[in-house]
Amino acid sequence: MLLDMNSGFPARKDGKLVQIVDAALKDVAQRSGAWLACRRGCTQCCIGPFPINQLDAWRLREGLSEVERVEPERAARIRERARISVERLAPSFPGNSTTGILDDGEEAERLFADFANDEPCPALNPETGDCELYEARPMTCRVFGPPVQAEEGLCVCELCFQGASEGEITACEMRADPDDLEAKLLRELEKKTALRGNTIIAFCLADARR
């Protein structure tokens, strides 16, 4: 559900964030050339869950709602894959399996590291290898592949930059959100909705009607 459309939040502001990140990806793709192995049909980043924040979750639900408006049968298939995924994951989910909110803390992070690493994303079309919610994908998906800064240093997809030197990798670093707009929008969204905490895509899409 769109919130406070008169103020343009979150749709317009999130759209600006997406434009900034997608422009950064286009720039780094040009700088990376053949080093960047990401191509349509590559599902390296589509297997195994990862935490998404409430802004990501909102965007995914809106994306699924749009698919449902124009292709209800396809939306139903996405939602069904999410529901089945939640059934598989719930018994070992390192969080609240009713709300889909992940636990915080070092122990929760340790459990998540070994959690469902072979589980495909429910937005992934198993026949074509395409993301069926590509335009609404989370920020993690948008920046995966190029070198990006993380707590452990500069990280890059294992399929990309094979044979590249450290200098060549560093020269292609992606600065996706230099003004930290995502964090600002997330705080605003959490204040408006009272929804807090990270979840995963399966729980988000299985509960997309709420």
Render pLDDT for 56-107 as a digit per residue (tens, 0 to 9): 999 999 999 999 999 999 999 999 999 999 999 999 999 999 999 999 999 9
* Domain parsing of the chain, residue ranges: 12-35+47-142+177-206
Rounded Cα–Cα distance for residues 133 and 61 (Å): 10
Mean pLDDT is lowest, of 2-11, 45-54, 63-72, 112-121, for 2-11
22-36, 142-156, 196-210: which is most confident: 22-36
In this predicted structure, the answer to whether residue 3 has a pLDDT above a threshold of 70 is no
* Predicted structure pTM score: 0.90
Contacts of 65 (CB under 8 A, 6+ apart): 208
In this predicted structure, the answer to whether residue 12 has a pLDDT above a threshold of 70 is yes
Provide the pLDDT for residue 112. Answer: 95
- Under the banding of pLDDT at 50, 70 and 90, the label for residue 121 is very high
- Under the banding of pLDDT at 50, 70 and 90, the label for residue 39 is confident
In this predicted structure, the answer to whether residue 126 has a pLDDT above a threshold of 60 is yes
- Under the banding of pLDDT at 50, 70 and 90, the label for residue 127 is very high
98: left (phi over 0), alpha (psi -120 to 50) or beta: alpha
In this predicted structure, the answer to whether residue 200 has a pLDDT above a threshold of 90 is yes
Q: What integer is the mean pLDDT of 6-19? A: 82
Continuous H helices in the chain? 11-32, 54-70, 72-89, 106-113, 139-143, 166-170, 181-193, 201-206
| Helical (H) or strand (E) element with 102 | strand 101-102
Higher pLDDT, 15 or 6: 15
Half-sphere exposure of 123 (CA within 13 A, CB side): 27
By C-alpha distance, which of 128, 164, 141 is closest to 45?
Answer: 141
Rounded to the nearest 5 percent, the helix, strand and coil shares of the chain are: 50, 10, 40
Q: What percent of the chain has pLDDT over 70?
A: 95
Rounded Cα–Cα distance for residues 155 and 158 (Å): 9
- Supply 58's token pair: 């909102």
Provide the pLDDT for residue 5. Answer: 42
- Under the banding of pLDDT at 50, 70 and 90, the label for residue 208 is low
- Under the banding of pLDDT at 50, 70 and 90, the label for residue 8 is low
